[in-house]
Amino acid sequence: MNKRQVGARQEAVAAEYLRGKGYRILERNYRNDYGEIDIIAEDGRSLVFVEVKFRSAGDYGDPLEAVDRRKQKRISRAAMRYYSGQGKERPCRFDVIALYGDGSIRHLADAFEYQ
């Protein structure tokens, strides 16, 4: 499996995890001029922009560390473009899902603020 296939598989795992928690998946791999958002979902009334990170081993650090300030800015800009096209105001937040090679999952709701 190449990196893209592994990423797609892990994003599918994250989407199923969110569905199991009662989220409604609206978009996967949303792209615009500002960047990409792995998953856009609804949690109750809230619009949730989710970044998914996977590490098969600890060689490159914790996947949560990969969502640095630069990545947060890109996600924020892409999210604002999506949000502004919705035509209605609603609460939103940014979550991060970390997937590990041992099959464990960490979900940080409201992981960072708009940058």
Residue type present at position 39 = I
What average pLDDT does the segment 97-101 reach?
A: 91
Mean pLDDT of 82-100: 91
Give the separation between CA 112 and CA 93, rounded to whole angstroms.
Answer: 8
Q: Check if the beta carbon of residue 60 is closer than 8 Å to that of residue 79.
A: no
**Residues linked to residue 47 through DSSP beta bridges, in sequence order:** 42, 92
Q: Of 106, 83, 86, which is closest to residue 95 (Cα–Cα)? A: 106
Tell me, what's the pLDDT at 78?
Answer: 96
Q: Provide the 8-state DSSP code for 46.
A: E
- Residue 56 confidence (pLDDT): 73
Could you tell me the pTM of the whole model?
A: 0.92
Domains of the chain in sequence order: 3-112 (3.40.1350.10)
User: For residue 60, what pLDDT is reported?
Assistant: 65
